Chain A
Amino acid sequence: MDIKDRLRNLPGKKPRKREKSNNKAGSSQSPKANSSTAASQDAYLFNREIYEPDFQQGNYALGELKELPLEQAKFLFKNRSDYQLAKEELIFLDTETSGLAGGAGTVVFLVGLGYFREDNFILEQHLMRDFEEELDQLLAVKSRLEERRAVVSFNGKSFDLPLLENRFVLNRLSFPAPDYHLDLLHPSRSLWNHLPSCSLKALERQLLNYSRRGDIDGSEVPELYFSYLRKKDMSLLEPVLHHNRLDIISLVALAVHLEKTAGSTEYNHLSAQELYNLGRILERENRRQASIECLEKSYRQVRSTSRPKKKMLEKIEKNLSWQYKRVVNWEAAVTIWQRMIEEKRGEYFARIELAKFLEHQQADFAGALEHSRAARSWLFENRHWRDDWRQKLKEVEHRIERLKNRSC
């Protein structure tokens, strides 16, 4: 029997038949660029568009990115360097790939790059129209990347850059690793973790006041590329190119927004939730005074609303009072704890903290005992809501015993 017949007779699931493409090639609403060139050399496909500084994406214009971009907000990035990066040293990067799982068989068929030159924003797309074009595509990307020192991406640390590096290794080229990599995903996650989603699209909608129309979902990209390869119909790739352009422009807009959110020292324009998150980040950075200021602003904002959210208040109060304690501002801490008890929020926490304060700072054992007992009865009454009540009860009883001994 012919080997192909034998192959056809093998058991198990057959390879998926090529299905007809039913992709609505999206109403490709290309962002208006002042000029656009598409150089279709023999080597691979190269697109370039030039955007003027007043080009708007949502709330922001591209030109709003400052001279020293992300300078004030630098603390948001892990492994940051204290080196100051000029706007001209940044290169914005976003890729489209043939698969989302990674591995050596996943190709980066499209590399989108953006950078500033004389105030204009240049957006380039390096497309591999078929497998044999990869080497030329990579060489071009390599020389672009080598011109700039810092890559700006969204989730590029764990996705785009490792995949791109794979391609370089497979083509036996050295990888132009950037000196700095500002991955906007991580600071966005810490600042906006209260939002239901931190995908780039969700952030655009919620923060940049921009919503995409007719855009494809990232998960559709591999199949669109494969259909394009089979049919060699460029219109199938148009939605992907469009999607990639939007991603890159959004990167700039998001960078502007990050800078505006975290970069000023006033923080007056931030929401209570943002202020709270920022306070937590600053706390981790050991910038305690700045952290306290953020939390105080957040606290004032929430308290000034007509019906403040109890959960939110409690969260802020717990954090803020801890911070006061650390900087030995007992007065402010005690005020918060007393208010918590009065307004019946986090009573257990507040009473235990007060008991500690009275015992260790004031040697007021009777007062401490009183709060401890109140904490115990609160705990017992609310035991149904707390999984750890037995443990806590033990602790508080231990405290009561000790205080009894000390007070007499």
Chain B
Amino acid sequence: MSAVVAEHDDHHDHGPAKGLLRWVITTNHKDIGTLYLLFALTMFFVGGAMAMVIRAELFEPGMQFVNPQFFNSMTTMHALVMVFGAVMPAFVGLANWMIPMMIGSPDMALPRMNNMSFWLLVAGVLLLASTLFMEGGAPAAGWTLYPPLVLQTGKALPFAIFSVHLLGISSIMGGINIIATIFNMRAPGMTLMKMPMFVWTWLITAFLLIAIMPVFAGAVTMLLTDKFFHTSFFDAAGGGDPVLYQHIFWFFGHPEVYVMILPTFGVASTIIPVFARKPLFGYSSMVYATAAIAFLSFIVWAHHMFTVGMPIAGELYFMYATMLIAIPTGVKVFNWTATMWKGSMTFETPMLFSIAFVVLFTMGGFTGLMMAIAPVDFQYHDTYFIVAHFHYTLVPASVFILMAAGYFWLPKWTGHMYDERIGRLHFWLSVVSVNILFFPQHFLGLAGMPRRIPDYAVQFADWNMISSIGGFIFGASQLLFLYVVIHTIRGGTGEKVTAEVWEDAAKHSLEWTLPSPPPYHSFTTPPAVIPTEHV
């Protein structure tokens, strides 16, 4: 450790390597963060294109464009690409950029591993994408990969499983790196209970990742041996049980969805106080609530399986445990509201996206509470009501907050200001269209439309068409964000941004004490003063 630091001290102000090779061999947290973010943005559009295929087929009843098998591949790949290719890498990218700057360190603790975990991610996602061109098509059993159905996949199955292994290794290494950085690289005086919320939420998320990715890897390895080595983990004929897979999968899967939402909470808790010009309300209760949510995420998995045939005691236990999640989640929402209360608010694009996040995520939380009620879930389960629920907690929540983070930190990263007019246009188009897209899906689900079907009865036609129209507008609106990113990198509005960028931001977190753009090795000497505005 000290040897690395000493070596860097010798040529103190060196910059990145020249040329394209810089991006391949880089061990710099900002370069790797940029790679993660650009990769995630690319995958956001790839996954988005798949969603457009889905919404185009569902625009009208009848089969117009694709065959049912390819439709199932699209729903499966859309989910896998968005989860493992877009949302998770985007948050790892933010962690890479922001954690060293927020805790006052020069870089991540394990820079070479950082490089490796990025390139393993690329390899994993490319391997997954390559299954689209294989005989028998890409996996089409849903992102949950339930056996026995997933064992009917064609040539793609072992490739998809190996891809999951690579993505898992990448995530675990990312998690280890983040934990090592936070535990070892904090500036003097930056005690755990003074860390910015984003750092806290990522610390907890990293532990979740390390705990769950091996479980998922184990589950898919059992699929592999069931398919090719004559084991019977999930086959009743050999003494196994297909439902066992679901238990293992959701033991991974439920914490996994929190991996995508906890850093979201962290960014929201970072942005809202800056634009309310007020400290975050209830910092320590925010930390405890995040930890409580992470703990609960491990003991509620079978609420995804209420209709699978569990004994009554299991149904009731998982119902009660799931309902408990509403309490810490409620605390978070109340705290954000209290942070805004009696503030002095302005509504730049990052704040707009953050407020939309609080409102729309809460709506996803409400439907989550409704689904926690086991007997009622016997109606909701596997319908469009569920589709609406988890898209509310992922798109206008995680994705909106990623957009907010982009607008919030792009001026810091690039030293250029984005075009506020286009940012607001992007926000308003997104927030209106995302509701046209997903709100009607509640109606469809309640009226009886199952999820994952390529065609539907005619009474579902009207709301599906409205949902598709919302989807097309939402998809097209995201091109504005792409424009903003490119425009800002290339100079933006031309306005010179200060180190602080946002009024009094340096009172909230250390990154605003560095110049914009920040130096290649963030803090080469520890910061003298630790901001405590939020504590």
A and B: real partners? Answer: no
